[in-house]
Structure 1
C-alpha cells in the first residue's frame, strides 16, 4: 500500500461544533464517503504541545513540549522526518510553530515564511505568524504547494477557528461561523484531492471553552473531531487516540516506523 496523505488540523475546533456546523463534511458522511470519529486530545490541551503529539505520537508530558512558550526543535521522529528520510516529499501550509518544531527554531519570517529546501524535514513550506491570517489564503497556499511540488505528505493548518474562540468563546456565532467557513473551503478542494489518490484526515489539536481559552480537562476543551476520507480507511467504528494519528499517517504513507497506531481505522 502506497498512498499520499493530506492531514488538515483545524486549530481549536471542538467536536460538537464540527458535528453540528460542518455541512459539507457531514454530507459526505450521509453518502458514506467519510466517517467522523470523536477523539480526546492529550494534556495540556494547548496548541504547540498537541502539534507535537499529532505529528510524533508522543504525549506532551513525554515530549517535553508542555506549553506554547517552549521554542525548540522536536526531539522525536515525526511524520515529516520519517517521510523525508525515506525518500518522500513533504510540505506544510501551517502556523510558524510547526516550522520551529521540525525545521528551524526560532522562526525567522524573512528566512522561513516561504521554505523550499530538500534538506529540511518540511521541504516545502508556507508558514504564517498571524493568528488572523485568513483561512481562505491558507488553503490557497496549501493548494499551491500541492500542485507545484506534488508532496506525498501535506499538512494544512489554519488558525481562524481558534482565533475566533479566543476572541468570542465556544458558544458564539463567530466561532461557529468560522467552522462553517473552513467547511466551505474544504469543499472547494476535497473532491480533487480524493480523485488524485490522497487519503485525507481532518482533525483538530484541541477544543475551546467559554472563558475564551483552553488548556484544561473540560470535555469542550478535549473533545475533537476526526473526519477521514479515502479508500484505505475502514470506515467502521473504532476507538482512536490522538497519539495514534502519527502512526496511522505513517502506515498510509508506507513508511517504516514504530509509532502506535489505530489498526481498526485502516483497511
Structure 2
C-alpha cells in the first residue's frame, strides 16, 4: 500500500518557490520530481483553503468562508476518509486544522498533542503561535511519521506566511524563509523518498507585496505543486491544476474512495 505525505507551506507564492527553493527545483531538473502550478480557490485565506485542500470542496459548498468560521467541518475530509478505510493518519499543523476536524474551539492544553484513533485526525501535533519555528514543526511531523507510521501524513508549517505578513512578499525576510524551508525539506526528503512515500508539496495561498492575501491577484492565488515518488512522471508541466483536485489525488494515491463532494480530475503527471 502506498503512503502519502502532503506538505502545505502556508503562504508560499508560486514565483518565490520557483526562484528560491533550490533543492526542490533541483529534483525537477534532475528528473526526480514533477512540478506545476496550482490555482487556489477563493477567498485566498487560510482557514477556507485548509478546508479546500483537505475536503476537495469550495467555500460556497462547505461554508468555511473566512478565517472567522471557527467550527467543525461538515464535509468528509481526508482524515475522515482514511480512518473509515482502516488507514492511519496524522497531522503536524496549525491549530485551525484541529478546529476543523477534531474539536472547536481549540483547547490549548488538551488539544496540543492528540493521539486518539476514534478521532478524524488520529495522531496530531498542533501549534498556535504563527512564529512557531518551521524546523520544530517539521520535526513534530517526523516524530509522528517514525513512531505512528501513518498512511497519510499532513504537514503544515507557518513561517513563510508569518514573514510575508510582517515584511511583504518582496522582502529578503520572505525569500529567506523560503530558502530556509527548502533546506529543512532537503534534510528529510531523501529519507522519505528512499522509504517509498508519495510526496506532494504545495501551499494554501500566496502573498502580495503588501503582506496580504485574500484577493484574486496572481501573487495570492498562484501556488506551487511538487510531486515526488514512483506514482509521478517527473518534469515541469505547463498545465495548471485547480486546488480542488488535490484531495481526490490523495485518495487516488491511497487507493480509497473520494467523497461524493469531490471533483473528478485527470492528472497528466501520474504514471499510468
Deviation at 1:230, TM superposition (A): 0.5
1:184 aligned partner: 183
Tell me, yes or no, if the aligned pair for 1:115 and 1:124 is still in contact at 8 Å. yes
Q: Does 1:265 align with 2:269?
A: yes
Deviation at 1:235, TM superposition (A): 3.3
- Cα distance in structure 2, aligned partners of 1:61 and 1:216: 16
Runs of 4+ off more than 6 Å: none
TM-score by length of 2: 0.96
- In the TM superposition, 1:184-263 aligns within 5 A as 184-235=183-234, 237=237, 238-257=239-258, 258=260, 259-260=262-263, 261-263=265-267
Residue 81 of structure 1 aligns to a residue whose secondary structure is: helix
Please state whether the residue corresponding to 1:231 is helix, strand or coil.
Answer: coil
How big is the alpha-carbon RMSD for the aligned residues of Structure 1 and Structure 2? 1.0
**Secondary structure at 1:265's aligned position in 2?**
coil
Alpha carbons 2:89, 2:150 under 8 Å: kept? yes
> What is the aligned partner in structure 1 of residue 15 from structure 2?
16
Secondary structure of 2:210's aligned partner: coil
Q: For residues 1-267 of structure 1, what are the structure 2 equivalents within 5 Å?
A: 2-235=1-234, 237=237, 238-257=239-258, 258=260, 259-260=262-263, 261-267=265-271
Q: State the 1:262 CA deviation.
A: 3.3
Q: 1:241 touches 1:262 (CA, 8 Å); kept in 2?
A: no
Q: Secondary structure at the match of 2:110?
A: helix
Please give the alpha-carbon distance, in whole angstroms, between the structure 2 residues aligned to 1:108 and 1:191. 36
For 1:150 and 1:189, locate their aligned partners in 2 and report how far apart those are by CA, in whole Å: 15
- SS at 2:76 equivalent: coil
Number of residues of Structure 1 aligned to a counterpart in Structure 2: 266
Say if 1:248 and 1:262, in contact at 8 Å, map to a contact too: no
What is the distance in 1 between the residues matched to 2:96 and 2:146?
A: 24
Query: Using a 3 Å threshold, how does the CA distance of structure 1 residues 231 and 57 change in structure 2: closer, same or farther?
Result: same
CA distance in 1, matches of 2:114, 2:250: 23
Structure 1: stretches of 5+ with no match in the other structure: none
Name the TM-score, length of structure 1 as normaliser: 0.97
Distance (Å, rounded) in 2 between the aligned partners of 1:102 and 1:232: 28
Taking the aligned partners of 1:134 and 1:107, their CA distance within structure 2 comes to 20
**For 2:6, what is the secondary structure of its paired residue?**
strand
